[in-house]
Structure 1
Amino acid sequence: MLGGVWTLPNSLIGLAGGLLALPWGARPSISARDGALVFLHYPWGPGGAITFGNVILATGQDLDRPCLSYAHRAGWCQQPSMRLGDHERAHVLQYMVLGVLFLPLYLLCGGVSAGNRFEQAADRYALTGRGWWPWLRE
């Protein structure tokens, strides 16, 4: 619960984005599995999902769809596909620990890129079920 309060400013960003998208087809739902309020059918963005605190904005019809890791898409390696929601759940956990520090640290680590340790950790977690902390090296 403390993590939810600590990341509330981030969650409010996601909530505002989700509410703004309602007239364009976004649909809110609660995902206990992913620990987040999820706005499905989010109408903007390149596809996939983005997480802000305990809010996930997803362009698809659910979080159960398969996706590829950042490293795989960058051509660094071959990896099996993973569940999109598992990747985003790792970000929810990261936000709950880092709170308001998450976004600045995420941007300092490279933003949306295969080299970003936050994305590497989220991919690792989605592929193995462990290792969501960005400074853990396995």
Structure 2
Amino acid sequence: MRIAAAIVGAVWTSPVTALGLLAGVLATPFGARPRWRGEDLALVFHHWPWGPGGAMTLGNVILHTGDDLDSPCRTYAHDAGHREEPPIRLADHERAHVYQYMVLGLLFLPLYLACGGISVRNRFERAADRYAQTGRGWWPWAK
């Protein structure tokens, strides 16, 4: 059942995944290197050459500026000074976004932007941090 759900989710978000693949392929001459991560259901392009650092998920593609997605990072709430929190693994945070995309498909991007974009106020980012902290609660409307 899980495999069938993963296939349906991957098909549902495939237009966004295609954008991620295009971005990754265009970055390969500039040093980006693809690697499949089955545990994250994503193709990760490491050494993404553009942007401020970190990672961005587009469907089943993760564009990552570093060389190890398993690296620690701070939560949005910690960075915003809302509370002290221990570091999380970037891979876990981005996996939550992969799951969100696989449920919402093309609706993810407009909903993400409507919820505040890259911000501590964004329920998608808070859910991804919660999932990275606990292994549960990746759905943006979960309590």
- Do the structures match in fold with TM over 0.5? yes
1:72 to 2:66 alignment: no
Residue 101 of structure 1, CA deviation: 0.3
Cα distance per residue 1:65-87 (max 9 Å; x no partner): 00000010000111000100000
1:115 to 2:100 alignment: no
Partner residue, 1:95: 101
% identical equivalent positions? 66
Question: 1 or 2, which has the higher helix percentage?
Answer: 2
Partner residue, 1:105: 111
Partner residue, 2:15: 9
Long gaps (5+) in structure 1: none
Alignment of 1:15-94 (within 5 A): 15-94=21-100
Partner residue, 2:4: none
Partner residue, 2:138: 132
When normalised by structure 1's length, the TM-score is: 0.98
Aligned residues: 137
Residue 88 of structure 1, CA deviation: 0.1
What is the SS of the residue equivalent to 1:72? Answer: helix
4+ residue stretches of structure 1 with deviation over 3 A? none
Long gaps (5+) in structure 2: 1-6
What is the SS of the residue equivalent to 2:39? Answer: coil
